[in-house]
Structure 1
Amino acid sequence: MKLIYLPFIIFSILSCKNQSTTQIEKLHIDNIIQIKGETISQIPAGCYMEGIIKDTFLCLQNSCSEKQFQIFSNNSKNMLYEFGATGRGPNEFQFPLIIKSDTNTSSLLIHDLIHNRLTRFYLKNDTSIHNTILPPELTRSQNLNIIDSTFVLSPIGEDSVLFYLYDKHAKIIKKIDYEPQFYVSRRGNKSDAYAHILSANAQHNSIIAAFKYINLINFYHSDGSLQKSLSLDLANDEIDYSEFQLSEDMLVTSYKMYSTPHFCYILWTGFPANKIYNHHPYLLVFTWNGMLEKVYQFDFFVNFIIVDEANRQFLGGVDSPKSELVEIKRFNY
């Protein structure tokens, strides 16, 4: 008789365990620091996605340009150099090149999805370039990060896994699943609902996944185990994720990320996609173990952010309302 109830007991224990690992902590935000920006320069309009500043150089990824990466003088803001495979414009490939700034080594990690190649470009010495060929199993991936000998990447359009951990020495790929499981809709792709940005830190053995359309930020150990899930009370509306599908009135939460050895900075809006340019975004400052240190709010909508911790300033790209230029604004903090 006892054996009849054994499967139900085991199921109940496993269910309680799963619920405890996916519990979401709601953060109440009540101390928001308002900061104002001043225009320090203007650069030609472009689809600037990511960037890094080092000494007198400002390097940006421009996804609308035939040359994907452009380096500007941080003093004059004149373009000094551009690189990226010639002829590979935005209409030729959907995901040609992805840049990831590495503030630890003052370098750019350039992920060439078409050739499945990883290039490290050092800003201190542009002749010091190293290429690594990624395994074919990691074709069509993005959100590239490196923790020692492990590559952290997210698959593109994959509905069965959130991100990969690839040990280049052992040649082993570990798949990390979606968690918590919000998505049950049949009207769209699971990968769309869980669209996210990733950042990793080897020193703290930490991986942060900030979701673009879900009010959720996950903190993982470098082995892929989920440590913490957070949501913010800054969003105006509660979203029914069971009916999720991409649309212009969908909620946008985390949309850009910038990482340093000590902190992870996340641009966060909490408004529908068709209204975000009319609202001022937040900048969330997290430690790598998931502690929210500060919350800033800009007085302009910022397309991308570069953090200069040494000079205690943020550099943000703002579309100029009067001309087809992008204003680089400085926000002191």
Structure 2
Amino acid sequence: MSNSSTTGFSNPSTFFLLGIPGLQEAHVLISIPFCAIYAIALLGNFTILFVVKREPSLHEPMYYFLCMLAVTDLVLCTSNIPKLLSIFWFNSREIDFSACLTQMFFIHCFSTIESGLYVAMAFDRYVAICHPLRHSTILTNPVVAKIALVVVLRGSMLALPCPLLARQWPYCRTNIIPHTHCEHMPVVKLACADISISSYYGLFALISRIGLDVLLITMSYTQILRAIFRLPTKDARLKTFGTCSAHLCAILTFYIPGLFSSLTTRFGHNLPLHFHVLIGNLYLLVPPMLNPIIYGVRTQQIRARLLQLFPQKGTKLLSFGSGSQSKSRVMLPGSMVLVSA
């Protein structure tokens, strides 16, 4: 590998992923939580898809968005984790140049798609809470399909220039990437050319994805909170606010590490490399693990269908609904039934 890092090449056939710089000796140990997170993400998201597909009553806009989010999470973590584990377990660091650019595209494309889906789900929640009687007429199946198409097209269009720009640069410094995957800026920083265009475009894509989407989500949840505070009883307000706050935590878990990773890659030159890499993996791995739990397990309809798959255990678990210790439910017309303790 040392010979591959010498100067004098402009079109490298392969790159070498370093993994987590400075923590190579601990790669096997570090792989344990990564592998566990990936397994939970696979199980949770496939379960969401299975339950929604089997249950006709869940064929509604919120669950369509939830299924799209599950597929996006599966692609997002699968674009990264298998190669990461092969580095940690088998020291398989080599990645073809074209495969590296393909991985770059998938990561940025599906990160943008996931961000767009958070906006769509926030809009669905806004309509369900603020305009419950009009929910079925506003969010029809054709409207949901158009929203999904716009989200996918936007993700593809914003992500495509990143690998196209990266392909055109000459790489005459090294072909060793100090990362676990082919992130845009760590790759183009290896070029021996003025990469200002790539850097500026990356910032533009970041603002278009995080800045605009966070603004739209904030507007939606501002209206939602105003509607919550107008609910007639304090108990109803607390229950609905508790559910919305859980969803907001899932959204923040996606945006904060993503924004922090993008900004530190460009401006955080004094931070250790392993910190950059760990943060860069955090926003790709934690949301796919948390989303099925927050959007799925906490949803009464999905949880009820899951319990039907295990009738003997489910009977005992469902017994919590009787007596004075029963849980309270808040119905959001046209959307999910949200359960709070």
TM-score norm. by structure 2 comes to: 0.24
More strand by share: 1
Bigger RCO of structures 1 and 2 (CA < 8 A, at least 6 apart): 2
User: In proportion to residue count, which structure has more helix?
Assistant: 2
